[in-house]
Structures are given as structure tokens and as C-alpha cells.
Homo-oligomer: A and B are copies of this chain.
Amino acid sequence: MAFDPASLKYDAAGLIPAITQDTGGAVLMMAWMNADAVARTLDSGRVTYWSRSRQAFWVKGESSGHVQRLIEMRVDCDRDCLLLLVEQEGPACHTNRRSCFYTAIRDGEEVEIMAPLAG
């Protein structure tokens, strides 16, 4: 069946959450897409989110160089969430860490489990 971005379920703001996982299996981040961002990502092979704060397309890495090359897009059973398998250039997180999920809860305490990348 041909895929149509309009067939996904978007929230009241027209957005769908997109989870990004690198080819090594690490979950890097979660951000949002609208239907146009889904289409642009598939067309260009460069992951393109919708920035809720800037209300604009956000071509990941456009300014930082930390681009995400799309390997495969997957849709969940409810069609209301996306999983993006990517090749990540450098850190995914704006804190210069590989992943945004660098804080673990261990024995009730917040523990930083990942250091910023060098350089």
C-alpha cells in the first residue's frame, strides 16, 4: 500500500511524535513532525522535524552539522507515533551529548550517565 503522510493520526496541533534511534540501537531523541515534515524527511532523506518553539521546519543539523540521515521510517500500530532509524552525525543533543536521554533515575536519584562529546 502506498504510504500517505495524511493517513497518520496527528494531535490537535497537527503534530505526531517521532522517536529517533541510531543504527547501533541507541534512542537519541524525540521530537515532533507535521505531515509536511514527514513528507520532506522521506523525500530528502534528511530528518526534518517541526519546531514547536520556532513554529518552523527544523532540518536537524542544518546549523550544527549534526545531521540525521534517514535509514528507515516506521509507523506504529495506532499510526500516531513514528520511529526513525538514522545515521547520526556527531551528537544528537544540543548539550553535545550523543543522546538526549543522559539522565537516569537510580535509587530515587538523578544520575548523569553520559558525558558531552569532546570538541
Contact = CB atoms under 8 A, between A and B. Distances in A.
Nearest to A76: B100
As for how many copies of this chain the complex holds, the number is: 2
Nearest to A24: B25
Contact of A105 (B21, B72, B102, B105): B72
A26 B76 CA distance: 13
B78 A100 contact: yes
Contacts of A25: 25-26
A2 to B, nearest CB: 6
A73 interface: yes
Interface string A1-15: 111000000000000
Given A17-B17, A21-B27, A27-B21, A3 B74 contact: no
